[in-house]
């Protein structure tokens, strides 16, 4: 009987603490792994934004895509960009939102026109932000990195 009295019984508070720690571990471990993956990929391949399973999360830092369309998004949003290979880039169409490189930054705007070569393949796209009055000009297809597949308002500001 002395051995049983020395053993500590779990209280309701202990059980609640274990449950809370378990839930935090389940949430925070994947977040850590995703962030670590994004950091490593970002330092290895600077020509495309870092991605997880082909989707690059990006924070929106300007209001150029703030509009009244269903897929428009405001400054501070978190967008998800599907990284495209060369074959997938050939299927781009007017109205889609794409992310492209300009110097050292990424811009995400809507395609207003597709420019084709003599062989009918896409050579460049002309884009414009939903809140802008002028086109960006012809963006060479090799500068296009992906297609925007969704957004979460305000989550980009939180991530930054």
Q: What is the pLDDT of residues 99-119, one digit of tens each?
A: 999 888 899 999 999 999 999
pTM: 0.72
CA–CA dist 129, 104 (Å, integer): 19
Question: Which parts of the chain sit beneath pLDDT 70?
Answer: 1-7, 34-35, 37-48, 50, 156-160
Return the exposure string of 5-27: e unless at least 16 CB atoms fall within 10 Å of the residue's CB, then b: eeeeeeeeeeeeeeeeeeeeeee
DSSP assigned state of 81 = E
Asked if residue 35 lies in contact with residue 53, where contact means CB atoms within 8 angstroms, the answer is no
The CA distance from 96 to 139, in Å, is: 14
Helix (H) or strand (E) holding 33: helix 12-44
pLDDT of 116: 94
The number of C-alpha atoms within 13 Å of 104 and in the hemisphere containing its C-beta is 0
pLDDT at 144: 95
Give pLDDT, residue 67.
Answer: 87
Where do the H-state alpha helices sit in 86-130?
86-89
- Per-residue confidence (pLDDT) for residue 84, from 0 to 100: 93
pLDDT at 119: 92
């Amino acid at each position: 009987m002395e051995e049983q009295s020395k053993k500590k019984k779990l209280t309701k508070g202990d059980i609640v603490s274990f449950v809370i720690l378990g839930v935090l571990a389940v949430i925070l471990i994947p977040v850590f792994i995703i962030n670590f993956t994004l950091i490593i990929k970002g330092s290895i391949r600077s020509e495309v934004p870092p991605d997880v399973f082909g989707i690059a999360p990006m924070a929106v830092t300007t209001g150029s895509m703030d509009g009244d369309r269903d897929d428009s998004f405001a400054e501070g949003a978190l967008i998800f960009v599907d990284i495209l290979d060369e074959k997938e880039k050939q299927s781009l169409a007017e109205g889609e939102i794409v992310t492209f490189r300009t110097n050292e930054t990424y811009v995400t705007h809507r395609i207003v026109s597709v420019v084709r070569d003599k062989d009918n393949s896409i050579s460049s796209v002309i884009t414009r932000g939903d809140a802008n009055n002028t086109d960006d000009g012809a963006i060479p297809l090799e500068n296009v990195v992906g297609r925007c597949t969704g957004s979460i308002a305000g989550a980009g500001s939180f991530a930054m």
